[in-house]
């Protein structure tokens, strides 16, 4: 059970900073494209679907969502949801820092480790 919770938290946590980076690769709209809303939506969807820097992290994120829904059918909800969310938060902070976002201070790293310890304690208490 703990391995499955860890896997989903890591998938989501790794895909979040990658999605942020991938969204920067999307082209910006010109002033002419700021007209009808339907055209804007179609333009955005087309460019999201054709930009691999966005598509690959999006698919990774969605695979985490599928794994999460499978996990919810197998694990106690009171453990799975907070554990996955906490692991996702900690992983996003660490991976984002490694990928050049705001550097993770010692306090942030300590917080991420405490989150992981809390998740481990919750999982062990439910077993």
The pLDDT value recorded for residue 30 is 66
What are phi and psi for residue 43, nearest 5 degrees? -65, -45
User: Are the C-beta atoms of 14 and 95 separated by less than 8 Å?
Assistant: yes
Q: Express each pLDDT in 21-55 by its tens digit.
A: 988 887 776 665 567 888 888 888 888 898 899 99
pTM for this predicted structure: 0.77
Taking alpha carbons only, the member of 95, 123, 68, 72 closest to residue 13 is: 95
């Amino acid at each position: 059970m703990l391995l499955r919770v860890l896997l989903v938290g890591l998938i989501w946590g790794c895909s979040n900073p990658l999605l942020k980076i991938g969204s920067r690769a999307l082209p910006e709209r010109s002033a002419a494209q700021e007209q009808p809303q339907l055209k804007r939506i179609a333009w955005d969807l087309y460019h999201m679907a054709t930009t691999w820097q966005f598509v690959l992290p999006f698919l990774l994120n969605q695979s985490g969502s599928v794994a999460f829904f499978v996990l919810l059918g197998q694990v106690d909800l009171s453990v799975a949801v907070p554990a996955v969310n906490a692991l996702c938060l900690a992983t996003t902070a660490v991976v984002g820092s490694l990928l050049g976002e705001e550097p993770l201070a010692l306090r942030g790293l300590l917080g991420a480790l405490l989150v992981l310890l809390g998740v481990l304690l919750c999982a062990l208490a439910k077993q």
